[in-house]
Amino acid sequence: MRSPHLTRTRKSIIGVLLTLALAIPLTVLTTLAPSKSAGAATTTAGPEAAGVKLGYFTEWGVYDRNFHVKNLDTSGSAGKITHINYGFGNVTGGRCTLGDSYAAIEKAYTADQSVDGVADTWDQPLRGNFNQLLKLKKKHPHIKILWSFGGWTWSGGFGQAMQNPAAFAQSCYDLVNDPRWQGLFDGIDLDWEYPNACGATCDTSGPAVMKNMMQAFRAKFGNQLVTAAVTADASDGGKIDAADYAGAAQYVDWYNVMTYDFFGAWAPQGPTAPHSPLQAYDGIPQEGFNSDAAIQKYKAAGVPANKLLLGVGFYGRGWTGVSQAAPGGTATGPAPGRWEDGIEDYKVIKDRCPVTGTIAGTAYAHCGNQWWSYDTPSTITGKMTYAKNQKLGGAFFWEFSGDTPNGELTSAVSSGLG
């Protein structure tokens, strides 16, 4: 997942961090019932096949993107998903902490901005995204919400935190179940990029750290949801091989496999390649960098299929100065984007550079001297068919604000899984 914002007053700086995080290549990544059994290392069976339809809501989206919890309702998306991951909380000082407290619990909403049409008052104890999400749950009681901690920028604290797994898990449990937002969160998602491997920083905790972390969190969180976002690097000796994901799987409800950002304009001269190929194809730039390779590697290691969710990106990645319309051409650099060069929301790129072809279960587009790849309702339908055929637990996507105002990609995920 991506970088979290910190404070309202520093949003412009953090906007840069966000866009930098969105640009991180996988080649660089080489990526509320109380607990009833505190202390018991229980195991989980995982969700029913294709039962999870999960989207990420980003804390910082309420700023420049002007995307709010109400948009989940007005777009129709809230009725078509089962879970929301709220990103991100921070991991620092060995503990889970709030990310941007202004966006999370302080920002005041007017009546027209609010999910239920009721304005916030100056003296109410909880405002911000958390209060709006509580209102969304009241309107759509089937939705379960997890608080996701870490992300690309805030993964550096996991190694220190895991020096005392029980204390780390306790701090996160206390925050997720804080009485100030009682009833909001149904569990926790841990987005460590990456255990015993390198992301923005490098971790050398050893392969067992993933299993140890998930065991500690399951023991503390009991019957609440405990999930993790995990790498899709299936190359030989790559990030899946770096940690004991199979051993940890018994303690998680599911893994969000980040099957996107395989390729992009961080390689400015190309070759052009789709950022989220479902399968390998002739000429793919890197062995093991495709969705199916990641799913099969996890399954072969012993992770149950129903504990794997297929990831979808609601954005495109592109180059400029391309030499050919088909994948595999050279380029001169990243194509222009609103938030950062080389990336653009689906709702924008679908019209700016319409699809001209498909490859490996995803779409690409050639317009002028630009080349983009992104998923469409049609390719998402194909990916959901794959998820069902593989008996996966479902799918997830990054993230809601990239979708159209009527939620056409979210609709494709939902209808595709059935």
Residue with tokens 């999370």: 104
Residue 204 to residue 225: CA distance in whole angstroms: 27
| CA angle in degrees (0–180, nearest 5) for 247-238-282 | 125
The helix/strand/coil state of 362 is: strand
- Which helix (H) or strand (E) covers residue 345, if one does? strand 343-345
Answer for the pair 398, 345: CB distance below 8 angstroms, yes or no: no
The single-letter DSSP state of residue 222 is T
- DSSP code for 106: I
How far, in Å, are 99, 185, 240, 297 from residue 293 at the CA level?
34, 33, 11, 6
Q: Assign 5 to helix, strand or coil.
A: coil
CA distances to 103, 132, 149 from 98, rounded to whole Å, are 10, 17, 9
Task: Give the torsion sign (CA, 171, 173, 176, 178).
Answer: negative
- Burial group, residue 45, by CB count within 10 angstroms (0-12, 13-18, 19+): exposed
**Active-site residue among 48, 106, 193, 344?**
193
- Indicate if 399 belongs to the active site: no
**Closest among 337, 343, 335, 366 to 353, alpha carbons compared:** 366
Q: Which residues are catalytic?
A: 193
